[in-house]
Amino acid sequence: MNKPAAPMGAVDFVMSIIPKTVVDALSSGIMLQILLVALLFGYALHAMGEKGKPVVDLINLMTDATFRVVNVILKLAPVGVFGAAAFMLGKYGIGALLPLMKLVGLVYLGCCS
């Protein structure tokens, strides 16, 4: 059996936030380390002033492109849901969709009241 982790002191907690390298912080998936690196990077870009503007513009461009991709995916999602429902209906019959229809009906009733 796994033993519970020992309680972490304040110094250990702060030291766990500081990554060994920038790549380690981004690849380890520890959110506090990623946040610290992002904050330091943002501060450095801000402190650079006009020299950092091309990088900020690139980040804004990439953000805009990412949101446009997400927008396309969200617009196509109903088609995927319809396809999945049609597959279930064709393979398993109407009985497979009845619980989902009941849930949708309850949600509509909850929204209307």
pTM of the model: 0.62
Residue 72 CB-density burial (10 A; 0-12 exposed, 13-18 middle, 19+ buried) = exposed
In a domain, 82, yes or no: yes
In a domain, 22, yes or no: yes
Measure the CA angle with vertex 83, ends 93 and 85; round to 5°: 35
Sign of CA dihedral 29, 25, 30, 5: positive
Domain range enclosing 94: 10-112
Whole-number Å distance between alpha carbons of 73 and 7: 43
Q: What per-residue confidence (pLDDT) applies to 77?
A: 96
Digit-coded pLDDT (tens) for 37-96: 999 999 999 999 999 999 999 999 999 999 999 999 999 999 999 999 899 899 999 888
Split into its structural domains, the chain has a count of: 1
Q: What per-residue confidence (pLDDT) applies to 46?
A: 95
Q: What per-residue confidence (pLDDT) applies to 62?
A: 98
In a domain, 56, yes or no: yes
